Structure 1
Amino acid sequence: MQQRTFVPAVFTLSALSLAIVSSNVHAEEFSQLWKDGKVNLDARYRYEHVDQDNALNNANAQTLRSRITLQTGKWYGLSALVEGDHVLRIGDDAYNDTRNGQSQYSVVADPDGGEVNQALLRYDYSMGNVVVGRQRINLDNQRFVGGVAWRQNEQTYDGALTQFKPFDGMTLTYGYIDQVNTIFSPDDNRYTAAGNPANIDGHSHLMNAQYIVAPELTVTAYRYMLGLDDLANKTQSSATNGLRLNGTVAGVTYAAEYASQSEYAGNPKKLDADYYLLEAGYTFKDLGGLMLKGGYEVLEGDKDTSKGAFQTPLATKHMFQGWADVFLTTPQAGVKDAYFGGSIPLLGGSLQAWYHDFRAETGSSQYGEEFDVAYGRAIPGVKNLSALVKYAQYDADDFGVDTQKLWLQLQYSL
């Protein structure tokens, strides 16, 4: 992990946090750090098949992600965590993992190799916490900042994050990111492109204020200033201001969100794009727990190619706009995604299905449509073992190519 300088504001907040509790602590044994410590193990096997209607060969990838996490106990609120990951390819590399040079195959973005996934110091006190080091950061619903936990290589961040809770319901978050450790980690090589670096240097600031007014309403305001020097020639650097409202009213869950985006940190493109989201869902308890949800999400584009479309480069994108991952980068004309689906408990597990209709935000292009379905459950008789079957089918019209993806997964956590 590179050693870099964090902004003074983070250390100022840390010092204030320590001062708050320094005069009101009781004696604690240093040995609590290891006496209350724990070790967690996790192994995730995955088979991924990708079939695209183009000249590329179908991809068939088998990988095993192994993870060990060492978590200390707390001593006067201080604790530490170290976590290591290793991704092992099983069998032939009949897929393009973005690092193996197998460009004749479709992409399965899970390069093999190992690295430190997290290495951090944490301080907890009565009104919040401070975390410094390599860490997992998931803000709100991960639409703008997330860990991309779906991929075998998780996205983590080198920097500092502090949360301050001055009164019940209010959480103020500030984060400084010095380096992004992407899903394409651990290493760059001659096959690395501008859009898939293993690490992204830069200076990014995350500001998020959330207030839970009542179960019916949570208000979140945010400003994310992303300086991403090594990603796509800085064209993904941006400043985003947004407001999100969500809650549950008479059993109906809802979310409404708006954000505006402009260029930042040397982005050569001019940015003046907006984001909109409207979503509502309901769980029918009399129908076995059937949950239905529908929504409409818009990421604006622009006909002028000197300008950019609304982008979310640090998001957990697999959670949005379909599991086939066709829209990981927003097209120049933007995206309008109308979606509907839901989930239901079934045979001890959960079955879910979703439909997406994708259109250009600028112009009249019909991009295509997608159908996604998945079933997951714990394996009977084997504690801590779960299985997942997942399928995505994107039918292209004016964007991309027909794409089918199938996943079979087993995960053991201890």
Structure 2
Amino acid sequence: MTWKNIAICVSSALIAANSTFAYADAITEALLNGKTQLNANLRYEMVDQDNRLKDADALSLRTRLTYSTGSVSGFSSLIEFEDSRTVLGVDDYNNTLGEHTQYSVIADPESTELDQLFVQYKQDGLGIKMGRQVITMDNHRFVGHVGWRQDRQTFDGATFFYQPMDNLTLKYGYLSKRNRIFAQGKDIDAKDHLINVAYKSSVGTLSAYGYLLEVDNNTNNALDTYGFRFNGAAKAGGQKLTYMLEYATQDEDSQGISYSADYLAAELGTSVSKLAIKLGYERLGSDNGEYGFATPLATLHKFNGWSDQFLVTPKEGLADLYASFSGKAAGGKWSVIYHKFDADEGSDNVDDLGSEIDAVYTKALSKYYTLGVKYAAYSAGDSSAGKVDTDKIWLWLNAKF
């Protein structure tokens, strides 16, 4: 080997080393200059039901610590831990894990878990995320994080995001595990496929979706839902109107037994003298009174009343006619919602499913602290529907740093 060849080899090695160290420096910078966040939620919840169960109350503190790295060539990562504890001995409630079953349910069991851990790539309209993550689709009706509960819902899997143009978004997700709100013991292995395509226009956003769900438990089961959603806003005679229309059809198959049901939702909103008003109707259909339309991955607390009477759709289905009013007062925001519930396919015994009044007030005390109070009052309908009068009250203080 000549001195010239040796010089070339040495030069190449030095260039490669410099490139390697430069890349290593970029990774180190991304790790050192990441972002740390702390979110703490102190909440009191009380449940009073008109049955034999004792009134429940819980004072719990949920703490969530998150660290996200900077980006290197489009790659970044995030890790997040979550802990939920009762405090000051206020723990007279059924936590859904078989403890204190003489009390009403408050679905906030104590838990400590890895809430999120993923690696992602985002560049040129393409996004890929691998690992445990929060996933939401549209308005959370079919896929959500159940963020109201102290132990929120996350998923293990891979999600893909592609935006070929500014007004078109394509999403796909494959889920291998549903990390639900009841601590790790009730998480569910899955083989779920999530497909969502959204097109944004001047009058609103049109979404089309397919959610193909399967519990991975060595049985034949499937819950397939296909639908579309349109929501937007426009002005009519100087008045701003908001609107939403959604329809979906669902097929459920379990151990060779099949059912079909459909879903319909419509909403119209406006404002009068700073008072926001919405009127809506949501129907979770029934298959001849034997099966109710299901949304097992949804943020269910957001829909059909905050007292959580219909986390599982009755086999007769559910029709929810509602009106909401919201505004601002004393530096905070308030809302009041009325629901009238009926069976979609009623019978002589089950038709009237009751009514509910919900109210909430929240106020930001500073950049870091938010105070809230919330109330739900459910009045039962037909006694054979299995529901009872229920009152729930929440008080909370949230801190974000």
User: TM-score, length-normalised on structure 1?
Assistant: 0.86
| Pair 1:263 & 2:252 matched | yes
In structure 2, relative to structure 1, the CA distance for the partners of 1:133 and 1:221 (3 Å cut) is: same
Q: Matched residues in 1 for 2:252 and 2:98: separation?
A: 34
Worse-superposed segment, 86-95 or 46-55? 86-95
Equivalence map 1:176-255=2 (5 Å): 176-186=174-184, 188=185, 198-214=186-202, 216-229=203-216, 237-250=222-235, 251-255=240-244
Contact (CA 8 Å) 2:289, 2:317: kept in 1 or not? Answer: no
Equivalent position of 1:194 in the other structure: none
Contact (CA 8 Å) 2:289, 2:316: kept in 1 or not? Answer: no
Equivalent position of 1:411 in the other structure: 398
Query: Secondary structure of the equivalent of 1:119?
Result: strand
Q: Which of 325, 339, 342 is the matching residue for 2:308?
A: 325
Post-superposition shift, 1:100? 4.8
Query: Secondary structure of the equivalent of 1:165?
Result: strand
Q: Matched residues in 2 for 1:333 and 1:291: separation?
A: 33
In structure 2, relative to structure 1, the CA distance for the partners of 1:234 and 1:344 (3 Å cut) is: farther
Query: Secondary structure of the equivalent of 1:39?
Result: strand
Post-superposition shift, 1:230? 5.6
In structure 2, relative to structure 1, the CA distance for the partners of 1:210 and 1:249 (3 Å cut) is: same
Equivalent position of 2:285 in the other structure: 300
Task: Give the share of equivalent positions with the same residue, in percent.
Answer: 41
Contact (CA 8 Å) 1:209, 1:220: kept in 2 or not? Answer: yes
Q: How far does the alpha carbon of each residue in 1:40-63 deviate from its partner, in whole angstroms, 9 at most, with x for none?
A: 001100100000001100001110
Post-superposition shift, 1:350? 0.2
Query: Secondary structure of the equivalent of 2:26?
Result: coil
Question: How many pairs align?
Answer: 368
Q: Which consecutive residues of structure 2, in runs of 5 or more, have no partner in the other structure?
A: 1-21
In structure 2, relative to structure 1, the CA distance for the partners of 1:267 and 1:161 (3 Å cut) is: farther
Equivalent position of 2:57 in the other structure: 60
Equivalent position of 1:274 in the other structure: 262
Q: Matched residues in 1 for 2:280 and 2:182: separation?
A: 31
Contact (CA 8 Å) 1:385, 1:412: kept in 2 or not? Answer: yes
User: TM-score, length-normalised on structure 2?
Assistant: 0.88
Post-superposition shift, 1:217? 2.0
Q: Which of 35, 38, 46 is the matching residue for 1:49?
A: 46
Contact (CA 8 Å) 2:176, 2:190: kept in 1 or not? Answer: yes
Post-superposition shift, 1:185? 1.1
Q: Matched residues in 1 for 2:278 and 2:44: separation?
A: 29
Equivalence map 1:4-403=2 (5 Å): 29-90=26-87, 91-186=89-184, 188=185, 198-214=186-202, 216-229=203-216, 237-250=222-235, 251-264=240-253, 266=254, 268-284=256-272, 287=273, 289-303=274-288, 305=290, 308-363=291-346, 365-379=351-365, 382-398=366-382, 399=385, 400-403=387-390
Query: Which amino acid letter does the alignment assign opposite residue 249 of structure 2?
Result: S
Query: Which amino acid letter does the alignment assign opposite residue 164 of structure 2?
Result: P
Query: Which amino acid letter does the alignment assign opposite residue 110 of structure 1?
Result: D
Contact (CA 8 Å) 1:238, 1:267: kept in 2 or not? Answer: no
Structure with larger Rg: 2
Query: Which amino acid letter does the alignment assign opposite residue 319 of structure 1?
Result: K
Post-superposition shift, 1:283? 2.6
Q: Matched residues in 2 for 1:67 and 1:234: separation?
A: 37
Contact (CA 8 Å) 1:299, 1:335: kept in 2 or not? Answer: yes
Between Structure 1 and Structure 2, which shows a larger proportion of strand residues?
2
Q: Matched residues in 2 for 1:41 and 1:383: separation?
A: 14
Query: Secondary structure of the equivalent of 1:33?
Result: helix
Contact (CA 8 Å) 1:375, 1:390: kept in 2 or not? Answer: yes
Contact (CA 8 Å) 2:111, 2:151: kept in 1 or not? Answer: no
Query: Which amino acid letter does the alignment assign opposite residue 379 of structure 2?
Result: D
Query: Which amino acid letter does the alignment assign opposite residue 79 of structure 1?
Result: S
Q: Matched residues in 2 for 1:79 and 1:229: separation?
A: 30
Equivalent position of 2:17 in the other structure: none
Query: Secondary structure of the equivalent of 1:145?
Result: coil
Q: How far does the alpha carbon of each residue in 1:185-214 deviate from its partner, in whole angstroms, 9 at most, with x for none?
A: 13x2xxxxxxxxx21112000000000022
Post-superposition shift, 1:32? 3.1
Query: Secondary structure of the equivalent of 2:31?
Result: helix
Equivalent position of 1:11 in the other structure: none
Q: Which consecutive residues of structure 1, in runs of 5 or more, have no partner in the other structure?
A: 1-25, 189-197
Q: Matched residues in 2 for 1:267 and 1:67: separation?
A: 40
Q: Matched residues in 2 for 1:412 and 1:340: separation?
A: 31
Contact (CA 8 Å) 1:36, 1:74: kept in 2 or not? Answer: no
Q: How far does the alpha carbon of each residue in 1:100-136 deviate from its partner, in whole angstroms, 9 at most, with x for none?
A: 5211000000010200000000100111211000000
In structure 2, relative to structure 1, the CA distance for the partners of 1:38 and 1:357 (3 Å cut) is: same
Q: Which runs of 4+ in 1 moved over 6 A?
A: none
Query: Which amino acid letter does the alignment assign opposite residue 57 of structure 2?
Result: N
Query: Which amino acid letter does the alignment assign opposite residue 103 of structure 1?
Result: T
Query: Which amino acid letter does the alignment assign opposite residue 234 of structure 2?
Result: V
In structure 2, relative to structure 1, the CA distance for the partners of 1:80 and 1:171 (3 Å cut) is: same
Query: Which amino acid letter does the alignment assign opposite residue 165 of structure 1?
Result: Q
Q: How far does the alpha carbon of each residue in 1:213-248 deviate from its partner, in whole angstroms, 9 at most, with x for none?
A: 22x1211000000112469x987x410000111111
Q: Matched residues in 1 for 2:397 and 2:256: separation?
A: 44
Q: How far does the alpha carbon of each residue in 1:6-61 deviate from its partner, in whole angstroms, 9 at most, with x for none?
A: xxxxxxxxxxxxxxxxxxxx988223312430100011001000000011000011
Query: Secondary structure of the equivalent of 2:91?
Result: coil
